[in-house]
């Protein structure tokens, strides 16, 4: 049994199915390339095949699984997938910051400070724990997105972050994670001081640096694989 049988607490049963499959991926109970059979998943989750079918369709939209003919299998992420996703995430987090800055609340500021401190502590304990830093970065930007009061933007950021958290190994490339707690703290204090443009400038500079690191690391990984010296396009 790869997933516990637990009564769904999500708005829809298919959402619960998505959550359980993603949890299995994160725990390594489902692996890239593995074929997913509706009947087997339904039995393991103690649900009918319809919510499983709907959940797999959602996961396909997220880029987590791929359907070919009648087969659905766990997708393997390539360097180009990592780069493309990160470029979109960068633009969405900047948009969220622009929308949230004028209306962000004291409670939001307090939560952002808490996350920034958790990031600092996590880095001090293990500077190579990129997985924890990635999860904290997701939480940080999700708080900002939710402060924007734009539900569709929040939904898009969540959807794009799922592959990032599922395929941690593909995304765990040094993008300046060691500076994230410092950058996050600077953004929070700029927001608290009602200086939204300063917060945006700090974020843009950090994103530019991270993108350069990502492109360089992906080029290095690709060259090691195929011996090519042609660089990857980056923004």
- pLDDT tens profile 160-184: 887 766 665 555 555 555 677 889 9
**Which range has the worst mean pLDDT, 162-166, 203-207, 215-219?**
162-166
Question: Over 80: is that where the pLDDT of 196 sits?
Answer: yes
b/e code 105-144 from CB counts within 10 Å (16+ = b): eeebbebbeebbebbbebbeeeeeebbbbbbbbbbbbbbb
Question: Over 60: is that where the pLDDT of 233 sits?
Answer: no
pLDDT of residue 118: 93
- What distances in angstroms separate CA 161 from CA 4, 50, 85, 143, 192, one per listed residue? 24, 25, 9, 13, 26
The answer to pTM > 0.85 is no
Backbone angles phi, psi at 4, to 5 degrees: -70, 150
Tell me the pLDDT band of 234, cut-offs 50, 70 and 90.
very low
- What distances in angstroms separate CA 200 from CA 102, 147, 189, 196, 234, one per listed residue? 12, 15, 12, 6, 21
| Complete domains list, the chain, with CATH | 13-74 (1.10.10.10), 79-226 (1.20.120.530)
**Which range has the worst mean pLDDT, 73-82, 136-145, 178-187, 189-198?**
73-82
To the nearest whole percent, how much of the chain has pLDDT over 70?
A: 83
- In whole angstroms, give the CA distance from residue 52 to residue 221: 36
- What distances in angstroms separate CA 31 from CA 17, 40, 187, one per listed residue? 17, 15, 37
**Which range has the worst mean pLDDT, 1-5, 76-80, 218-222?**
1-5
Contact criterion met (CB below 8 Å) for 125 and 133: no
């Amino acid at each position: 049994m790869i997933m516990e049988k637990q009564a769904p607490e999500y708005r829809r049963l298919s959402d619960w199915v998505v959550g359980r499959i993603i949890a299995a991926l994160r725990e390594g109970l489902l692996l890239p390339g593995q074929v997913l059979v509706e009947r087997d998943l339904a039995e393991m989750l103690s649900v009918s095949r319809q919510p499983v079918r709907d959940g797999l369709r959602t996961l396909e939209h997220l880029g987590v699984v791929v359907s070919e003919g009648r087969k659905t299998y766990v997708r393997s992420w390539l360097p180009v997938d990592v780069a493309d996703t990160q470029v979109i995430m960068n633009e969405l987090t900047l948009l969220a910051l622009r929308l949230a800055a004028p209306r962000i609340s004291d409670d939001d500021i307090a939560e952002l400070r808490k996350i920034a401190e958790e990031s600092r502590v996590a880095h001090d304990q293990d500077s190579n724990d990129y997985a924890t830093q990635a999860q904290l970065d997701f939480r940080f930007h999700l708080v900002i997105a939710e402060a924007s009061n734009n539900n569709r933007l929040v939904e898009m950021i969540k959807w794009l972050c799922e592959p990032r958290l599922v395929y941690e190994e593909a995304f765990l490339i040094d993008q300046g994670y060691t500076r994230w707690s410092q950058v996050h703290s600077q953004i929070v204090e700029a927001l608290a001081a009602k200086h939204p443009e300063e917060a945006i400038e700090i974020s843009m500079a950090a994103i530019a640096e991270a993108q350069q690191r990502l492109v360089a690391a992906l080029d290095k990984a690709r060259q090691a694989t195929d011996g090519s010296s042609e660089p990857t396009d980056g923004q």
